């Protein structure tokens, strides 16, 4: 099934018991196409091969009050290793179709 690029990893933050929070300023607008807490299935393209994991779109507030929160991706799996900058995360067309993006 065809896939579309969702984001390219800029930074990550491990949240014990929750998964890996992935941030990408250049791709943040693309995440805003989805409702908050949208459940997705994504493919993380690792050097050793792709890894399919559940994910959700979340909001991250950094900085001062009044700043617009960022949309980030939470990879909900302990199977995801630390991801180097530049790692691609793809969304299947099936999931994109569910959300009309």
- How does pLDDT run across 39-73, given as a tens digit for each residue? 999 999 998 999 999 999 999 887 666 678 899 99
- Domain borders along the chain are 3-99
User: CATH assignment of 3-99?
Assistant: 2.40.30
List CB contacts of 59: < 8 A, sequence separation 6 or more: 36, 69, 70, 71, 72
**Strand residues in 27-69 grouped as ranges (E):** 39-46, 49-60
22: tokens are 């992935």
Give me the mean pLDDT over the 31-36 stretch.
Answer: 92
Rounded to two decimals, the pTM is 0.87
Gap between the Cα atoms of 5 and 18, Å rounded: 23
Of the candidates 59, 85, 89, 69, the one whose C-alpha atom is nearest the C-alpha of residue 77 is 89
- pLDDT, position 82: 87
Where residue 49 falls (left for φ over 0; alpha for ψ -120 to 50; beta otherwise) is left
Residue with tokens 């493919």: 43
pLDDT band at 19 (very low <50, low <70, confident <90, very high): very high
Gap between the Cα atoms of 60 and 68, Å rounded: 9
């Amino acid at each position: 099934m065809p896939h579309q690029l969702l984001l390219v990893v800029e930074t990550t933050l491990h949240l014990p018991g929750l998964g890996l929070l992935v941030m990408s300023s250049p791709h943040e607008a693309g995440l805003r196409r989805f409702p908050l807490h949208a459940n997705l299935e994504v493919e993380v393209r690792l050097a050793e091969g792709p890894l399919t994991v559940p994910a959700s779109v979340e909001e991250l507030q950094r900085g001062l009050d009044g700043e617009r929160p960022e949309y980030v991706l939470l990879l909900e799996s302990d199977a995801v290793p630390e991801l180097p900058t530049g790692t691609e995360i793809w969304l299947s067309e099936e999931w994109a179709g569910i959300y009309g993006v």
